[in-house]
Structure 1
């Protein structure tokens, strides 16, 4: 039961609470501003050391390919151990018809692994490279034992046909499965005997003559975040599928006024202070890494037609992304209630964003925004409007710049130091949105009728991840939650909860809405 108070008293209480929070963060920001020269003096020697090691490697270690970027170093430091990798991304591609396995291997090898540009350089060299540490700093080195057929395998899962439920179980296992040691951390599993159920969520696809009774092929692409961020993986698969180069990402961040540029340094210090304050606060789903089971539960939603999201967007005059974030927020709220977790007014959510000038190939070129999710709000329409407002606030937020700065600094330190100080301890959950456009994609002449992705719960304080995929005319959400944060039996309600959240915005208009 939520606390009942007089409305006026409640407003005053919230105002004083927010005032006290902002005052605490502001005082901490002043301290950071005073100490900044000391931080700079500590960072400068480390940066010079990295450059010296980089030059020394060219002379002493010609077998090393290149030093990893600071962003990738941060991912490597947050990856856990070789036996329990934590930075893992899965992409599922569902085809309209069956594919020939040998042809899949040949085509992926020629279009990705061995592909060269006009100058004769490898386009995706990291597919044949692995990480190694030299003098306490991460480098890429050639995988001398590389064999394409060890990375691309075929399995019927010892069944006549594989259902969607079977695929979820396999993907759940793949999320925590170790990669082959001393090898490039990626693999592709080809399942040639997938059969969709008659009431399958994929019935909403745009193939009117497709029958669920047909056997189809599913490809599950598993890759470590150390190799690439989500945008790089998306572009790799699109380039392999279409056989041609994809257009570069264009990011249009809003231009800042002269006043905004003036106050930005102050907001930067405020953001750095807020991150440290958040690290000391308790929220639903937020947990210490040592308290996690390191075993994730994976659940999927039913397909949501894009027209449904657009209809909600137009009805309430909000953005498309706001609707998706609001649905995810309501889902987190209901899962917390079912788990008996005490709700807070809001909780911090990390949202990865690609940085401008994202290079080609496989790389980590992203930053983070931190958004407060209003999980304490029961009314879905009110929650939606708050999500929309907070997303607008992110346009002038210092979080993306601050996160990019943090990743550069923490990724510059020696690996063992980065493993301690470079871990996310301020976010409770992660929401990642990977749109794929409305264009039809095919591979070997066979249409891809479904494309989704999911991510493992990473090292640090994050206890749950919702990955949102859009492909052609539909949206689908996948949730991965550490089983010590929310038990698996509660997570089985995920699909139902998503439907309730969509209905709360689409049909009920938020009036007389209740969580149960």
Structure 2
């Protein structure tokens, strides 16, 4: 009976894939005929703004426009937060002046601002998104002490615990940016304590730590651009110390064979895309409507996990680093659903941020979101890991990645109301974003104190759509920390998300024990 059900589901899925593919082929000429006039009108609007709207800057580029339609000043769903833990207190006033003169006011050989976006915000005109100048830009509105509204100068002495930091990050992932203000800011927290409460002795000059938070809306730039800013521009750390996206595969062999393969790939790519869409549509108890989702999501951080530990699992099982992480996340979801009495589906889809090669040294978005199946229904840890490895290889080799990358500017050039429809994630329950940071430890020189960087972490909003669970992670030096987030209707408290993280650590131990015996993270 179960076998018949499985066969029926597969046949049903193939039927839908074929129908959608045929519809794509039939509607493509019609869509093309509709889009061309829109792109022509977009060009006319661009020229007209020079005469009628001199207060506007350039059009927001098409790759960023697909995210910038999210309103950064009203219930934003695409905020990014990167925070750096420093040894000692940063000279924040000096850092603010350095950033203003070296980055915000930087000009090229023609005397033009290199990055005018730091003084601009998103504005809509005639159906398209432009950059618009702030009326009275003030660097102090974008770079400030987090607690500077405390009475007197007490914000300089206030001690902040790790528990308080978690709540700060949790709030910032959904907090709106100022109205008619550029959607970015640096927030500084001096006197940081890594303990969860105030019972430990107050930090001394020798034991002092501080936290620098860079918060930005995703329409402003992506994670790689943030790394480029924080590492290369501010601290002269070359990005060769950061793992880069793999180059897109090139055809090999005779010219005619390569040409035929490329033609076949282009014919196959739309079919593969429709297959991905059909197979990625989730239906489970954790797949909630956007109207049901409540922000900010509950949030918890794992301890720093040694990269060496994950690599041992990777090498022992002959799988990729990413597959080990994904296997631990999948097991944590499965075990949490079982613990809470939720029905465990055969699979659950995660949206995966895929950085693309050739990222420009600018404030840009240069990535795609794809989808990957997490086999939450598989109970055996080894089989689950190997299934994830298979799915991850499929993701990396898929023709959909290049197809999606080339199609994003097509959608990003349309009217904003059209972009909203295309950019809504109806499919996945989970979102995963994992990008590598510096392989070796570094110092933060931009503040003048040459502070040693102790840790770098990353968290984000889960975007528009039905995502109710998210995992963000960024490696630094020889470790990484996983930031888990979940909607209140799925995991009702921060403590419940903390339990999810514990299950991640437990699964890593299980995977380690498959070939190395008992150990600890």
Same fold (TM over 0.5): yes
Equivalent residue for 1:255? 250
Post-superposition Cα deviations, 1:238-291, rounded to whole Å, max 9, x if no partner, equal: 124414664695641223464643432343222343355357651353222112
Whole-angstrom distance in 2 between the partners of 1:28 and 1:12: 24
Answer yes or no: is the 8 Å Cα contact 1:292–1:485 preserved in 2: no
Match status 1:150 vs 2:141: yes
1:11 deviation in Å? 5.8
> Does the residue aligned with 2:434 lie in a helix, a strand or coil?
strand
Answer yes or no: is the 8 Å Cα contact 2:124–2:130 preserved in 1: yes
2:177 to 170, 176, 179: 179
Whole-angstrom distance in 2 between the partners of 1:242 and 1:400: 33
Whole-angstrom distance in 2 between the partners of 1:369 and 1:125: 31
Equivalent residue for 1:417? 418
Equivalent residue for 1:105? 96
1:194 to 192, 195, 202: 192
Match status 1:58 vs 2:56: no
Equivalent residue for 1:481? 486
Equivalent residue for 1:89? 80
> Does the residue aligned with 2:383 lie in a helix, a strand or coil?
helix
1:404-483 aligned at under 5 Å gives the runs: 404-444=405-445, 445-483=450-488
1:252-401 aligned at under 5 Å gives the runs: 252-256=247-251, 258=258, 260-274=261-275, 276-277=277-278, 281-401=282-402
Equivalent residue for 2:168? 170
Post-superposition Cα deviations, 1:11-69, rounded to whole Å, max 9, x if no partner, equal: 66545533432333123212322222112222222122212211222233233221111
1:495 to 480, 491, 501: 501
> Does the residue aligned with 2:192 lie in a helix, a strand or coil?
strand
1:213-232 aligned at under 5 Å gives the runs: 214-232=207-225
Whole-angstrom distance in 1 between the partners of 2:488 and 2:223: 24
Whole-angstrom distance in 2 between the partners of 1:267 and 1:343: 33
Q: What TM-score do the two structures reach when normalised by structure 1?
A: 0.88
1:505 to 502, 506, 511: 511
Answer yes or no: is the 8 Å Cα contact 2:270–2:400 preserved in 1: no
Whole-angstrom distance in 2 between the partners of 1:122 and 1:339: 54
Answer yes or no: is the 8 Å Cα contact 1:286–1:462 preserved in 2: yes
Question: What is the number of equivalent residue pairs in this alignment?
Answer: 492
Equivalent residue for 2:235? 242
Answer yes or no: is the 8 Å Cα contact 2:305–2:480 preserved in 1: yes
Post-superposition Cα deviations, 1:68-93, rounded to whole Å, max 9, x if no partner, equal: 1122111022x256221111001110
Answer yes or no: is the 8 Å Cα contact 2:118–2:182 preserved in 1: yes
Equivalent residue for 2:255? none
Post-superposition Cα deviations, 1:298-342, rounded to whole Å, max 9, x if no partner, equal: 111111101001100110011112112222222222333334332
Equivalent residue for 1:5? none
Equivalent residue for 1:204? none
Tell which deviates more after alignment, 52-61 or 464-473.
52-61
Equivalent residue for 2:123? 132
Whole-angstrom distance in 1 between the partners of 2:137 and 2:418: 31
> Does the residue aligned with 1:177 lie in a helix, a strand or coil?
coil
Q: What TM-score do the two structures reach when normalised by structure 2?
A: 0.87
Whole-angstrom distance in 1 between the partners of 2:496 and 2:58: 45
Equivalent residue for 1:72? 64
Equivalent residue for 1:202? none
Whole-angstrom distance in 1 between the partners of 2:337 and 2:106: 47
Tell which deviates more after alignment, 286-295 or 253-262.
253-262
1:237 deviation in Å? 0.9
Answer yes or no: is the 8 Å Cα contact 2:437–2:477 preserved in 1: yes
Answer yes or no: is the 8 Å Cα contact 2:88–2:206 preserved in 1: no
Whole-angstrom distance in 2 between the partners of 1:479 and 1:15: 35
The 1:76–1:414 alpha-carbon spacing in structure 2 relative to 1, beyond 3 Å, is same
The 1:250–1:238 alpha-carbon spacing in structure 2 relative to 1, beyond 3 Å, is same
Where structure 2 has 5 or more consecutive residues not aligned to the other structure, the ranges are 198-202, 253-257
The 1:198–1:462 alpha-carbon spacing in structure 2 relative to 1, beyond 3 Å, is closer
The 1:244–1:309 alpha-carbon spacing in structure 2 relative to 1, beyond 3 Å, is closer
The 1:446–1:27 alpha-carbon spacing in structure 2 relative to 1, beyond 3 Å, is same
1:432 deviation in Å? 0.6
Tell which deviates more after alignment, 291-300 or 235-244.
235-244
Post-superposition Cα deviations, 1:79-133, rounded to whole Å, max 9, x if no partner, equal: 2562211110011100011212212212222332223456654343211111111
Answer yes or no: is the 8 Å Cα contact 1:112–1:236 preserved in 2: no
Post-superposition Cα deviations, 1:340-369, rounded to whole Å, max 9, x if no partner, equal: 332221122211122332111211121122
Tell which deviates more after alignment, 218-227 or 388-397.
388-397
Match status 1:37 vs 2:52: no
